[in-house]
Amino acid sequence: MKVIVTGANGFIGIHTIRSLLERGYKVTALDIKIEGLKEFSGNKNCEIKEMDIISENFKSLIRMGDKVLHLAAIAKFSTAKASPQRAVRVNVEGTLNIVQACIEKKAERLVYSSTGSVYSLTAPVPIREDAPREPTNIYGLTKKMAEDWIILHGNQLPYVILRYGYIFGKGKDWGAIGAFLRRLSNNQQPIVFGGNQTNDFVYVKDVVKANLLALESTYTNQAYNIGTGRATSIRDVCEYCIKASKSSLKMKLEPARVFDYPIFVYDISKARSLLRFEPEWNVLDGIADMVKE
Ligand SMILES: NC(=O)c1ccc[n+]([C@@H]2O[C@H](COP(=O)([O-])OP(=O)(O)OC[C@H]3O[C@@H](n4cnc5c(N)ncnc54)[C@H](O)[C@@H]3O)[C@@H](O)[C@H]2O)c1
Protein backbone atom coordinates (compact mmCIF):
# COMPACT_ATOMS: atom_id res chain seq x y z
CA MET A 1 0.00 0.00 0.00
CA LYS A 2 1.48 3.36 -1.01
CA VAL A 3 1.07 6.61 0.91
CA ILE A 4 2.04 9.94 -0.61
CA VAL A 5 3.06 12.27 2.22
CA THR A 6 3.14 16.00 1.45
CA GLY A 7 5.10 18.26 3.79
CA ALA A 8 7.34 15.22 4.36
CA ASN A 9 10.32 17.32 5.45
CA GLY A 10 8.33 18.97 8.25
CA PHE A 11 8.02 18.18 11.94
CA ILE A 12 5.04 15.80 11.68
CA GLY A 13 6.05 14.46 8.27
CA ILE A 14 9.38 13.02 9.40
CA HIS A 15 7.89 11.34 12.50
CA THR A 16 5.02 9.89 10.46
CA ILE A 17 7.19 8.56 7.63
CA ARG A 18 9.40 6.66 10.11
CA SER A 19 6.30 4.94 11.45
CA LEU A 20 4.79 4.24 8.01
CA LEU A 21 8.02 2.57 6.84
CA GLU A 22 8.26 0.53 10.05
CA ARG A 23 4.76 -0.78 9.34
CA GLY A 24 5.63 -1.83 5.79
CA TYR A 25 4.01 0.96 3.77
CA LYS A 26 5.62 2.25 0.61
CA VAL A 27 6.02 6.02 0.90
CA THR A 28 6.42 8.88 -1.55
CA ALA A 29 7.82 11.73 0.55
CA LEU A 30 7.19 15.09 -1.09
CA ASP A 31 8.30 18.55 -0.01
CA ILE A 32 9.75 21.74 -1.44
CA LYS A 33 12.71 21.13 0.89
CA ILE A 34 14.16 17.67 1.26
CA GLU A 35 17.35 18.05 3.30
CA GLY A 36 15.70 16.59 6.43
CA LEU A 37 14.78 13.40 4.54
CA LYS A 38 18.34 12.07 4.17
CA GLU A 39 17.69 9.32 6.72
CA PHE A 40 15.23 7.75 4.24
CA SER A 41 17.36 8.08 1.10
CA GLY A 42 18.67 4.49 1.15
CA ASN A 43 15.28 2.95 1.88
CA LYS A 44 13.85 1.11 -1.13
CA ASN A 45 10.32 1.68 0.16
CA CYS A 46 10.72 5.45 0.28
CA GLU A 47 10.80 7.64 -2.80
CA ILE A 48 11.78 11.27 -2.14
CA LYS A 49 10.36 13.99 -4.39
CA GLU A 50 11.33 17.64 -4.28
CA MET A 51 8.13 19.25 -5.53
CA ASP A 52 5.70 22.07 -4.79
CA ILE A 53 2.14 20.92 -4.02
CA ILE A 54 0.89 23.58 -6.41
CA SER A 55 2.72 21.89 -9.30
CA GLU A 56 0.80 20.45 -12.26
CA ASN A 57 3.15 17.44 -11.95
CA PHE A 58 1.76 16.48 -8.56
CA LYS A 59 -0.79 14.17 -10.13
CA SER A 60 1.93 12.16 -11.88
CA LEU A 61 2.88 10.76 -8.45
CA ILE A 62 -0.51 9.15 -7.79
CA ARG A 63 -1.61 5.70 -8.94
CA MET A 64 -5.13 4.38 -8.52
CA GLY A 65 -5.71 3.22 -4.94
CA ASP A 66 -2.88 5.25 -3.37
CA LYS A 67 -3.54 7.13 -0.16
CA VAL A 68 -2.49 10.75 0.34
CA LEU A 69 -1.54 12.24 3.71
CA HIS A 70 -1.50 15.98 3.17
CA LEU A 71 0.67 17.79 5.73
CA ALA A 72 2.31 20.49 3.58
CA ALA A 73 1.33 23.98 4.65
CA ILE A 74 2.39 27.39 5.77
CA ALA A 75 1.99 26.09 9.30
CA LYS A 76 3.01 29.06 11.43
CA PHE A 77 0.57 31.81 12.39
CA SER A 78 3.27 34.46 12.02
CA THR A 79 4.28 33.38 8.48
CA ALA A 80 0.65 33.26 7.34
CA LYS A 81 0.05 36.71 8.82
CA ALA A 82 3.16 38.16 7.19
CA SER A 83 2.28 36.74 3.79
CA PRO A 84 -1.46 36.03 3.47
CA GLN A 85 -1.29 35.59 -0.32
CA ARG A 86 1.34 32.89 0.03
CA ALA A 87 -0.69 31.23 2.81
CA VAL A 88 -3.75 31.14 0.52
CA ARG A 89 -1.67 29.86 -2.36
CA VAL A 90 -0.11 26.99 -0.42
CA ASN A 91 -2.80 26.12 2.13
CA VAL A 92 -5.88 26.64 -0.04
CA GLU A 93 -4.88 26.41 -3.72
CA GLY A 94 -2.28 23.74 -2.93
CA THR A 95 -4.94 21.65 -1.20
CA LEU A 96 -7.36 22.13 -4.10
CA ASN A 97 -4.64 20.97 -6.51
CA ILE A 98 -4.19 17.84 -4.40
CA VAL A 99 -7.94 17.19 -4.22
CA GLN A 100 -8.28 17.47 -8.01
CA ALA A 101 -5.24 15.24 -8.61
CA CYS A 102 -6.61 12.63 -6.17
CA ILE A 103 -9.97 12.58 -7.95
CA GLU A 104 -8.46 12.38 -11.42
CA LYS A 105 -6.06 9.57 -10.47
CA LYS A 106 -8.61 7.77 -8.26
CA ALA A 107 -6.69 7.96 -4.99
CA GLU A 108 -8.21 5.80 -2.27
CA ARG A 109 -8.48 8.69 0.24
CA LEU A 110 -7.09 12.01 1.38
CA VAL A 111 -6.12 12.51 5.01
CA TYR A 112 -5.84 16.20 5.81
CA SER A 113 -3.99 17.79 8.74
CA SER A 114 -6.17 20.56 10.04
CA THR A 115 -6.10 22.48 13.28
CA GLY A 116 -8.00 23.74 16.31
CA SER A 117 -7.50 27.23 14.87
CA VAL A 118 -10.52 26.65 12.62
CA TYR A 119 -12.80 26.91 15.68
CA SER A 120 -14.33 30.03 17.11
CA LEU A 121 -12.53 31.56 20.11
CA THR A 122 -15.85 31.25 21.93
CA ALA A 123 -16.56 27.62 20.99
CA PRO A 124 -18.02 25.80 24.02
CA VAL A 125 -15.41 23.68 25.80
CA PRO A 126 -14.57 20.89 25.56
CA ILE A 127 -14.69 21.61 21.83
CA ARG A 128 -16.61 19.12 19.72
CA GLU A 129 -16.23 18.68 15.96
CA ASP A 130 -19.62 20.31 15.34
CA ALA A 131 -18.64 23.54 17.17
CA PRO A 132 -18.75 26.69 15.01
CA ARG A 133 -15.79 27.06 12.68
CA GLU A 134 -15.09 30.80 12.75
CA PRO A 135 -11.34 31.32 12.60
CA THR A 136 -9.94 34.55 13.96
CA ASN A 137 -6.55 34.48 12.27
CA ILE A 138 -5.24 34.09 8.73
CA TYR A 139 -3.69 30.67 9.30
CA GLY A 140 -6.97 29.30 10.71
CA LEU A 141 -8.93 30.84 7.88
CA THR A 142 -6.78 29.18 5.21
CA LYS A 143 -7.04 25.82 6.97
CA LYS A 144 -10.82 26.14 7.17
CA MET A 145 -10.99 27.07 3.48
CA ALA A 146 -8.94 23.98 2.64
CA GLU A 147 -11.28 21.85 4.75
CA ASP A 148 -14.24 23.27 2.86
CA TRP A 149 -12.75 22.40 -0.54
CA ILE A 150 -12.15 18.86 0.66
CA ILE A 151 -15.67 18.51 2.08
CA LEU A 152 -17.18 19.92 -1.12
CA HIS A 153 -15.55 17.08 -3.08
CA GLY A 154 -16.43 14.40 -0.54
CA ASN A 155 -18.71 12.55 -2.94
CA GLN A 156 -15.78 12.04 -5.33
CA LEU A 157 -12.92 11.59 -2.89
CA PRO A 158 -13.15 9.91 0.54
CA TYR A 159 -11.45 12.08 3.15
CA VAL A 160 -10.51 12.19 6.81
CA ILE A 161 -9.89 15.60 8.38
CA LEU A 162 -7.76 15.55 11.55
CA ARG A 163 -7.91 18.72 13.65
CA TYR A 164 -4.76 18.43 15.72
CA GLY A 165 -4.38 20.13 19.09
CA TYR A 166 -1.13 21.78 20.15
CA ILE A 167 1.50 19.29 19.02
CA PHE A 168 4.89 19.08 20.68
CA GLY A 169 7.86 16.79 20.23
CA LYS A 170 11.38 16.48 18.96
CA GLY A 171 11.90 18.58 15.84
CA LYS A 172 9.45 21.35 16.80
CA ASP A 173 11.74 24.00 18.20
CA TRP A 174 9.16 26.78 17.82
CA GLY A 175 6.01 27.37 19.88
CA ALA A 176 5.86 27.57 23.67
CA ILE A 177 7.45 24.22 24.58
CA GLY A 178 10.26 24.62 22.04
CA ALA A 179 10.95 28.13 23.35
CA PHE A 180 10.90 27.07 27.04
CA LEU A 181 13.31 24.19 26.41
CA ARG A 182 15.63 26.28 24.28
CA ARG A 183 15.90 29.02 26.88
CA LEU A 184 16.43 26.46 29.64
CA SER A 185 19.22 24.75 27.70
CA ASN A 186 20.88 28.18 27.35
CA ASN A 187 20.50 28.67 31.10
CA GLN A 188 17.94 31.47 30.61
CA GLN A 189 14.60 31.82 32.43
CA PRO A 190 11.67 30.57 30.33
CA ILE A 191 9.13 33.35 29.62
CA VAL A 192 5.42 32.64 30.13
CA PHE A 193 2.83 35.01 28.64
CA GLY A 194 -0.20 35.02 30.91
CA GLY A 195 0.03 31.54 32.37
CA ASN A 196 -3.51 30.45 33.11
CA GLN A 197 -4.61 29.93 29.51
CA THR A 198 -4.93 26.25 28.68
CA ASN A 199 -4.39 24.17 25.60
CA ASP A 200 -4.79 20.56 24.54
CA PHE A 201 -1.11 19.59 24.24
CA VAL A 202 -0.64 16.37 22.31
CA TYR A 203 2.63 14.52 21.88
CA VAL A 204 3.78 13.94 18.32
CA LYS A 205 3.92 10.15 18.85
CA ASP A 206 0.16 10.19 19.50
CA VAL A 207 -0.39 12.34 16.40
CA VAL A 208 1.52 9.80 14.30
CA LYS A 209 -0.78 7.12 15.67
CA ALA A 210 -3.83 9.17 14.68
CA ASN A 211 -2.42 9.67 11.16
CA LEU A 212 -1.99 5.92 10.73
CA LEU A 213 -5.48 5.18 12.06
CA ALA A 214 -6.96 7.78 9.70
CA LEU A 215 -5.24 6.15 6.73
CA GLU A 216 -6.99 2.86 7.50
CA SER A 217 -10.29 3.82 9.12
CA THR A 218 -13.54 2.83 7.46
CA TYR A 219 -15.16 5.96 8.95
CA THR A 220 -14.26 8.40 6.19
CA ASN A 221 -15.81 11.76 5.27
CA GLN A 222 -15.47 12.83 8.88
CA ALA A 223 -13.50 15.39 10.87
CA TYR A 224 -11.88 14.35 14.13
CA ASN A 225 -10.33 16.29 17.00
CA ILE A 226 -6.91 14.87 17.83
CA GLY A 227 -5.69 15.80 21.29
CA THR A 228 -5.72 14.33 24.76
CA GLY A 229 -9.06 15.70 25.94
CA ARG A 230 -7.18 17.27 28.86
CA ALA A 231 -6.59 21.00 29.41
CA THR A 232 -3.11 21.95 30.64
CA SER A 233 -2.19 25.50 31.59
CA ILE A 234 0.85 27.06 29.99
CA ARG A 235 2.23 27.68 33.47
CA ASP A 236 2.10 23.93 34.21
CA VAL A 237 3.69 23.17 30.85
CA CYS A 238 6.55 25.50 31.74
CA GLU A 239 6.98 23.77 35.12
CA TYR A 240 7.16 20.41 33.30
CA CYS A 241 9.87 21.79 30.99
CA ILE A 242 11.87 23.05 34.01
CA LYS A 243 11.48 19.66 35.68
CA ALA A 244 12.42 17.66 32.56
CA SER A 245 15.46 19.90 32.03
CA LYS A 246 16.48 19.39 35.70
CA SER A 247 16.90 23.17 35.93
CA SER A 248 16.80 25.32 39.05
CA LEU A 249 15.62 28.39 37.08
CA LYS A 250 12.19 29.92 37.70
CA MET A 251 9.76 31.02 34.97
CA LYS A 252 9.41 34.72 34.15
CA LEU A 253 5.80 35.92 33.84
CA GLU A 254 4.77 38.47 31.18
CA PRO A 255 1.25 39.78 30.33
CA ALA A 256 -0.97 37.46 28.25
CA ARG A 257 -1.21 38.02 24.48
CA VAL A 258 -4.59 38.76 22.90
CA PHE A 259 -4.52 35.98 20.33
CA ASP A 260 -4.28 33.07 22.78
CA TYR A 261 -7.44 31.05 23.44
CA PRO A 262 -8.26 31.53 27.17
CA ILE A 263 -9.32 27.88 27.46
CA PHE A 264 -8.77 25.35 24.74
CA VAL A 265 -9.48 21.68 25.23
CA TYR A 266 -10.93 19.09 22.92
CA ASP A 267 -13.68 16.58 23.29
CA ILE A 268 -12.01 13.56 21.65
CA SER A 269 -14.85 11.09 22.11
CA LYS A 270 -15.53 10.91 18.36
CA ALA A 271 -11.90 9.98 17.57
CA ARG A 272 -11.97 7.50 20.45
CA SER A 273 -15.09 5.72 19.30
CA LEU A 274 -14.73 5.80 15.49
CA LEU A 275 -10.97 5.96 14.85
CA ARG A 276 -10.11 3.95 17.98
CA PHE A 277 -7.67 6.73 18.85
CA GLU A 278 -6.40 6.58 22.43
CA PRO A 279 -3.65 9.05 23.40
CA GLU A 280 -0.90 7.32 25.36
CA TRP A 281 1.18 10.29 26.44
CA ASN A 282 0.45 12.95 29.02
CA VAL A 283 2.25 16.29 28.78
CA LEU A 284 4.81 15.69 31.53
CA ASP A 285 5.83 12.26 30.17
CA GLY A 286 5.88 13.59 26.60
CA ILE A 287 8.21 16.46 27.50
CA ALA A 288 10.46 14.12 29.51
CA ASP A 289 10.59 11.71 26.52
CA MET A 290 11.37 14.58 24.16
CA VAL A 291 14.24 15.85 26.32
CA LYS A 292 15.63 12.33 26.84
CA GLU A 293 15.76 11.44 23.13
N1 LIG B 1 2.55 21.42 14.66
C2 LIG B 1 1.33 21.67 15.14
O3 LIG B 1 1.17 21.95 16.37
C4 LIG B 1 0.12 21.60 14.25
C5 LIG B 1 -1.13 21.78 14.83
C6 LIG B 1 -2.25 21.72 14.04
C7 LIG B 1 -2.12 21.47 12.68
N8 LIG B 1 -0.90 21.32 12.11
C9 LIG B 1 -0.83 21.07 10.67
O10 LIG B 1 -0.05 19.91 10.44
C11 LIG B 1 0.66 20.02 9.20
C12 LIG B 1 2.14 19.75 9.41
O13 LIG B 1 2.63 20.68 10.39
P14 LIG B 1 4.15 20.70 10.85
O15 LIG B 1 4.15 21.12 12.27
O16 LIG B 1 4.84 19.44 10.46
O17 LIG B 1 4.68 21.92 9.98
P18 LIG B 1 6.12 22.14 9.32
O19 LIG B 1 6.20 23.60 8.98
O20 LIG B 1 7.18 21.54 10.16
O21 LIG B 1 6.01 21.30 7.97
C22 LIG B 1 5.33 21.74 6.84
C23 LIG B 1 6.10 21.28 5.62
O24 LIG B 1 5.40 21.70 4.44
C25 LIG B 1 6.36 22.05 3.48
N26 LIG B 1 5.78 22.92 2.47
C27 LIG B 1 5.39 24.22 2.62
N28 LIG B 1 4.92 24.70 1.46
C29 LIG B 1 4.99 23.68 0.56
C30 LIG B 1 4.65 23.57 -0.80
N31 LIG B 1 4.13 24.60 -1.47
N32 LIG B 1 4.83 22.37 -1.42
C33 LIG B 1 5.38 21.32 -0.75
N34 LIG B 1 5.73 21.38 0.56
C35 LIG B 1 5.54 22.55 1.20
C36 LIG B 1 7.46 22.75 4.27
O37 LIG B 1 8.69 22.77 3.54
C38 LIG B 1 7.51 21.90 5.53
O39 LIG B 1 8.48 20.86 5.42
C40 LIG B 1 0.36 21.41 8.67
O41 LIG B 1 -0.64 21.29 7.69
C42 LIG B 1 -0.17 22.17 9.87
O43 LIG B 1 -1.07 23.18 9.49
C44 LIG B 1 0.22 21.38 12.86
Q: What are phi and psi of 74, to 5 degrees?
A: -80, 105
Q: Residues 224, 225, 227, 228: is their CA dihedral positive or negative?
A: negative
Query: Strand, helix or coil at 67?
Result: strand
Q: Residues 5, 10, 13, 19: is their CA dihedral positive or negative?
A: positive
Q: Estimate the crossing angle of helix 175-185 against helix 283-292, to 10 degrees.
A: 50
Q: Which CATH superfamily, name and number, covers 2-165+204-228+267-275? A: NAD(P)-binding Rossmann-like Domain (3.40.50.720)
Average pLDDT over the chain reads 96
pLDDT in tens, 150-173: 999 999 999 999 999 999 999 998
Q: Estimate the crossing angle of helix 94-104 against helix 138-152, to 10 degrees.
A: 20
75 CA → ligand 1 middle, Å: 5
pLDDT category of residue 293 using cuts at 50, 70 and 90: low
Residue 139 a catalytic site member: yes
Q: Which of 32, 76, 138, 161 to mutate to test the pocket of ligand 1 (most atoms within 8 A of CB)?
A: 32
CB 207 within 8 A of CB 161: no
Say yes or no to pLDDT of 134 above 90: yes
* pLDDT at site 38: 97
Kindly indicate whether the domain formed by 168-198+231-264+281-292 is annotated with CATH number 3.90.25.10: yes
Residues near 71 by beta carbon (within 8 Å), at least 6 away in sequence? 5, 6, 7, 8, 10, 12, 13, 16, 113
Question: If you average pLDDT over residues 65-74, what whole number do you get?
Answer: 98
d(CA 39, CA 50): 15
pLDDT in tens, 236-290: 999 999 999 999 999 999 998 876 778 999 999 999 999 999 999 999 999 999 9
| C-alpha distances out from residue 59 to 51, 64, 69, 288, Å | 11, 11, 14, 41
pLDDT category of residue 25 using cuts at 50, 70 and 90: very high
Atom of ligand 1 nearest to the CA of 175: 3
Answer with the residue of higher pLDDT: 135 or 256.
135
State how beta strands 232-233 and 198-199 pair: antiparallel
Give 250's Cβ-side CA count (13 Å radius).
2
| C-alpha distances out from residue 86 to 5, 32, 44, 74, 289, Å | 21, 14, 34, 8, 35
* pLDDT at site 259: 67
Domain range annotation of the chain: 2-165+204-228+267-275, 168-198+231-264+281-292
Q: Which of 37, 49, 95, 113 to mutate to test the pocket of ligand 1 (most atoms within 8 A of CB)?
A: 113
d(CA 175, CA 75): 11
Q: Ligand 1: list residues with CB < 6 Å.
A: 6-7, 9-13, 31-33, 52-54, 71-73, 75, 90, 94, 113, 115, 143, 164, 166-167, 172
Atom of ligand 1 nearest to the CA of 112: 41
pLDDT in tens, 80-125: 999 999 999 999 999 999 999 999 999 999 999 999 999 998 999 9
* pLDDT at site 173: 86
Percentage of residues in the chain having pLDDT higher than 90:
94
